[in-house]
C-alpha cells in the first residue's frame, strides 16, 4: 500500500536527511526491492534507474480489470475456456526480446506533462504511446491448480521475468491474456532484483 514516494518520505523522516530518492517506481500493490539512495548517493539514481529488473509475478486467467491488476474493477470476465499449458508457454516466449508495450492508465508515466494515474482518477482515458521495452527471461514457476493440463477460468500462473527499465508487468500479463483470448490480470507482484 506504500508508494515509492511514501518510502522516500519515510526514510527522510527517519534519517532527518533532505536528499533522498529511489531508483525506480514500485506500484503500491507490489512488494520487493526498492533501492533508496541518500545524500550524495542521489547522484547515482540516473544510472541505477537504467538497470534491468527481475520480478516474481502471478497472473490470473479469465478476469480483466481497469488497472490490469487485482486492485482494479473487473471490466471483462471469460469463464468458458480451456487453454493448453503449451499455448501459454508459446505466448510467453513470443514476448521475449524487444517489444512495444502500452503503459497502463494507472501508472506514473507522463503524457502531455500529466501523470496518467491523475487522468485515470478523473475517469479520463488518455491516448498512450507505445514504448519499446525488452523482456530477457520469462519462465513459469508453478500453475494453480497444480497438475492441470488445460488452463481454465481462475487458473493462476506464477512466473519469473527479467526485463528492461520501463516494463510494466501488468501490461505484459494483460497482453498475454488478450493473445490467449481469455483475458488476464496481475494478481501478485514482487520485485526480486
Per the omega criterion (within 30 degrees of 0), is the bond before 171 cis?
A: no
The beta-strand segments (E) located in 62-155 are 63-65, 74-77, 83-84, 97-101, 110-111, 114-115, 131-144, 150-151
pLDDT at position 7:
92
**107 phi-psi bin (left φ>0, alpha ψ -120 to 50, beta other):** beta
pLDDT at position 126:
84
27 as an active site residue: the answer is: yes
pLDDT at position 9:
95
C-beta separation of 164 from 133 below 8 A? yes
pLDDT at position 116:
84
Helix (H) or strand (E) holding 78: none
Active-site residue, selected from the candidate residues 6, 27, 136, 150: 27
CA angle 131, 132, 137 (to 5 degrees): 125
**Alpha carbon separation from 80 to 28, 91, 153 (Å, rounded):** 32, 19, 7
Q: What is the pTM of this model?
A: 0.89
Per-residue pLDDT of the chain (193 residues; tens, 9 = 90+): 788 889 999 999 999 999 999 888 887 788 999 999 999 988 888 888 788 999 999 999 999 999 999 999 999 999 999 999 999 999 999 999 999 999 888 887 888 888 888 888 888 888 888 999 999 999 999 999 988 789 999 999 999 999 998 899 999 999 999 999 999 999 999 999 9
Q: Residue 22 pairs with which residues in a beta bridge?
A: 36
C-beta separation of 94 from 179 below 8 A? yes
Amino acid at each position: 500500500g506504500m508508494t515509492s514516494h511514501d518510502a522516500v518520505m519515510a526514510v527522510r523522516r527517519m534519517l532527518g536527511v533532505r536528499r533522498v530518492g529511489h531508483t525506480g517506481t514500485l506500484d503500491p500493490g507490489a512488494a520487493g526491492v526498492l533501492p533508496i539512495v541518500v545524500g550524495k548517493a542521489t547522484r547515482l539514481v540516473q544510472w541505477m534507474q537504467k538497470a534491468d529488473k527481475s520480478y516474481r509475478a502471478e497472473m490470473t486467467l479469465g478476469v480483466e480489470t481497469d488497472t490490469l491488476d487485482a486492485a482494479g474493477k473487473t471490466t471483462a470476465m471469460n469463464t468458458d475456456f480451456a487453454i493448453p499449458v503449451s499455448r501459454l508457454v508459446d505466448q510467453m516466449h513470443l514476448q521475449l526480446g524487444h517489444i512495444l508495450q502500452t503503459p497502463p492508465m494507472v501508472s506514473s508515466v507522463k503524457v502531455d506533462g500529466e501523470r496518467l494515474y491523475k487522468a485515470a482518477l478523473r475517469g479520463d482515458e488518455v491516448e498512450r504511446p507505445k514504448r519499446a521495452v525488452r523482456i530477457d527471461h520469462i519462465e513459469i514457476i508453478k500453475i494453480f491448480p497444480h497438475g492441470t493440463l488445460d488452463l481454465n477460468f481462475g487458473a493462476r500462473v506464477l512466473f519469473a521475468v527479467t526485463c528492461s527499465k520501463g516494463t510494466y508487468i501488468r501490461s505484459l500479463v494483460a497482453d498475454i491474456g488478450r493473445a490467449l483470448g481469455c483475458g488476464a490480470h496481475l494478481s501478485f507482484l514482487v520485485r526480486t532484483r
